[in-house]
Structure 1
Amino acid sequence: MSYLRSYLVSIASRLEKLLLLSLVTIAIAIGTFALPAQATAVYEVPAVSAGVPSWVIDKADVLSLSTKGAVKGTLEQLAKQTGKEVRFVTIHRLDYGDTVQTFTDKLFKKWFATDAEQANQTLIVLDNVTNTIGIHTGTEVKSTLTDAIATSITTETMQAPLRSGNKYNQAFVDGADRLAAVLSGQADPGPPVIISTPEVGRTYLKAEETEANRTNFLVIVIGLLIIATVIPMATWWWYQNQS
């Protein structure tokens, strides 16, 4: 009987450790899956003014150095040739109540306060959480970059690489190239041609699959927590009755 009691006490001790581990795991899971990242506010984006060669601000850190260099080169050349300036900004998470377009509009007006400063400016903002893109153009830009073309650039040219696997670098290179062509007076190359292909050999999870995995994980952790709580209590109760 003494040996059995020692054995049960040992099991109870191990289960208490499992309970502690479960609590730590739940805390990590809540921190990972439940708490949202801090939103990006307009005032957090570095200040830019007309004539300043700040073409790409990658707050979301989704672009490679080579992409930033290529896009900057394209936009620098465009500004020298035409006087029209294009800025690309990426952010990570919108504030509550904001859309990427309202954020773009507010940032545009913050950077360029007067009509004269706004006239030759184009601003494009991407939020990498929603993968949505906003665009705001000045009055002088609209003569070549119509609202229809501007919308096509953000919803077709730049969205096509994002839909095919979050290819941010390709999206920004393609967007800059089309903008440069249109704003320099060349014929609009138009959006990319999308060829539908069957979804075969997919190596990534869709949003609903990711959410299901998170739910299953939390269910398993909670189940372990219940087991780790009930068994030690039952063991203690049995031990007390035997005593």
Structure 2
Amino acid sequence: MADLSLVAAHPEIGGHLAPRGSQRARLVEGMIQAVAEKGYAAATVADVVRAARVSRGTFYAQFASKEECFLSAYQYGIDVIVERIRAAIRAEAEGDWVARLRTGLRAYLETLAGEPRFARTHLFEVHMAGPLAGAARDTALRAFADRYKSSFRAALRERPELRMPSDDALFILSAGVDQLVCARVRAGELEHLPELTDELTLTAVAFLEGAAALQPHTPEGGS
């Protein structure tokens, strides 16, 4: 399969896309291709199997429905994004917590800017795929919120006068970043997303120093 999506970067997918490779991997990648081309609502199982170059029977041997295949593809993509953020932060080990936070944000923005098909899936099409997809979307936002928590935990080690925001507050930060990214992509500015890095870093730092400081003291790592 040529011109692969972000999902193909997952170790369970990318190494199994050869013609005689995993049919499940080919279907997951085919789902992203079909949704990127037509949108979730208009994409059909026939579109997915055509992109994957397998039979309809093969599809239903692997997945009970279009929704199940989509959710699998979505989760693989989110796993890749989270791992890219982690890897970028690990590579920034010598910087302070703000530098690592900035690096993580830039990794997220650069990944979306460089992967327009999965960006569409993650930012827009997931909302069209039903309540289970909505729950998967919430789980993804909480995974990104956990990355902020890790950055803020490092901040508390450097600046113990600060306080860890609650999990719900971190979710609000994650969702707010997401909404700004959505607005920029709707405006046709996908390739310019990395330019938001400094603004989002300032916002996240202000969030910790402002909103978090108003909370009662909780132990490090608490919510």
- Compute the TM-score of the two structures, normalised by the length of structure 2: 0.32
Say which structure, 1 or 2, has more relative contact order (CA 8 Å, 6+ apart). Answer: 1
- Compute the TM-score of the two structures, normalised by the length of structure 1: 0.30
Q: Which has the higher Rg, Structure 1 or Structure 2?
A: 1
Larger helix percent? 2
